[in-house]
């Protein structure tokens, strides 16, 4: 399998964590020391661990992939800052195969959830110019406010993979974004469900931080950020199995790999799409198998 490059666009990523040792590409913004390390911000490091942790204490979805950290500190306060667009373009220009954006506009409405022109242009650039014209695979969180993705200009942008959450029973948590733009879901916690309340992920935390009383790792990462990270990892597996795929073809493979969840209540339409679950829950093992190039069928000789 080829080695894929996964860009994490987030408020900060501790790229010196031992789980990523030997697999970090110099990130954005370029710095001499501690390139994108910021121990005050844990979210990006949590996301990176779900996808890329190398197996020292936890193992990510693609433990051999390369990490391209893209630190956008403004994301800790708001979306829409020009630096998010600069980071996205940087990722596309510096080898990203998959770009994971495990964030969303908080409580979006028609105004606060609108996609700024500079970010729209950057997403277009990633989706069409990235990977030498094959397009970067861009994955966005559906958000944790239970709103219609029609109000979220980021996750609903054409070509983007919007990821929501399902709980351990394969049902919709009230917090997870929903709607026509939802592509798929991945398992995460559900505070309203007794069995799913504490079903969070164990992942990397910034070195030396005492967030949640833990150092190096945390056991408390969930919601649609974790779901987004899982699907970004699956997309990286797809491209590792077949690097020739375009971004649109990766989306198609991901869709084909999905299992329907909550079939009775999911309101799936004739396309197999549900407003609560998209096309369903991707199968981590089946997705890269579906992506592998098909052998050419030789025509039978004419007799």
| Domain annotation covers residue 270 | yes
Active site residues: 10, 43, 225
Enclosing H/E stretch for 52: helix 43-52
**Which single residue is written with the structure tokens 């001499």?**
32
| Domain annotation covers residue 91 | yes
| Domain annotation covers residue 97 | yes
| Domain annotation covers residue 76 | yes
CATH of the domain at 98: 3.40.50.200
| Domain annotation covers residue 296 | no
Q: Which residues, in sequence order, are CB contacts of 87 under 8 Å at separation 6+?
A: 9, 28, 70, 71, 72
What pLDDT, in 10s, does the model give residues 102-134? 999 999 999 999 999 999 999 999 999 999 999
Collapsing DSSP to helix, strand or coil, 231 comes out as helix
> What is the count of structural domains for the chain?
1
Q: Residue 210's pLDDT is what?
A: 55
Q: Give dist(CA 104, CA 159) in Å, integer.
A: 16
Domain that holds residue 103: 5-291
Q: Give dist(CA 255, CA 246) in Å, integer.
A: 14
Q: Give dist(CA 277, CA 268) in Å, integer.
A: 9
| Domain annotation covers residue 34 | yes
Q: Residue 298's pLDDT is what?
A: 55
Q: Residue 202's pLDDT is what?
A: 97
Is the model's pTM score more than 0.85?
A: yes
Q: Give dist(CA 123, CA 158) in Å, integer.
A: 10
**Which single residue is written with the structure tokens 């501690």?**
34
Which residues of the chain have a pLDDT value below 70?
1, 30-40, 208-214, 296-303
| Domain annotation covers residue 187 | yes
């Amino acid at each position: 399998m080829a080695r894929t490059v996964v860009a994490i666009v987030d408020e900060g990523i501790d790229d010196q964590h031992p789980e990523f040792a030997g697999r970090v590409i110099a990130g954005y913004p370029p710095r001499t020391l501690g390139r994108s390390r910021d121990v005050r911000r844990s979210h990006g490091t949590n996301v990176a661990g779900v996808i890329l942790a190398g197996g020292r204490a936890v193992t990510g979805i693609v433990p051999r992939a390369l990490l391209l950290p893209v630190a956008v500190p403004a994301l800790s306060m708001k979306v829409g800052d020009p630096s998010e667009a600069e980071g996205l373009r940087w990722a596309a220009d510096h080898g990203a195969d998959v770009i994971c954006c495990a964030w969303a506009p908080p409580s979006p409405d028609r105004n606060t959830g609108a996609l700024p022109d500079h970010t729209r242009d950057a997403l277009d650039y990633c989706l069409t110019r990235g990977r030498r014209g094959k397009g970067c695979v861009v994955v966005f969180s559906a958000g944790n406010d239970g709103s219609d993705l029609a109000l979220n200009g980021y996750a609903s942008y054409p070509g983007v993979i919007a990821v929501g959450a399902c709980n351990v029973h394969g049902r919709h948590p009230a917090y997870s974004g929903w709607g026509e733009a939802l592509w798929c879901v991945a398992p995460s916690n559900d505070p309203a469900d007794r069995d799913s309340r504490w079903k969070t992920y164990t992942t990397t935390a910034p070195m030396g931080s005492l967030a949640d009383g833990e150092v190096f790792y945390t056991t408390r990462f969930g919601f649609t950020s974790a779901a987004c990270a899982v699907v970004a990892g699956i997309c990286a597996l797809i491209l590792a199995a077949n690097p020739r795929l375009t971004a649109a073809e990766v989306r198609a493979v991901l869709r084909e790999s999905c299992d329907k969840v909550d079939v009775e209540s999911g309101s799936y339409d004739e396309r197999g799409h549900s407003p609560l679950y998209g096309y369903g829950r991707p199968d981590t093992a089946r997705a890269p198998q579906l992506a592998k190039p098909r052998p050419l069928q030789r025509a039978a000789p004419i007799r």
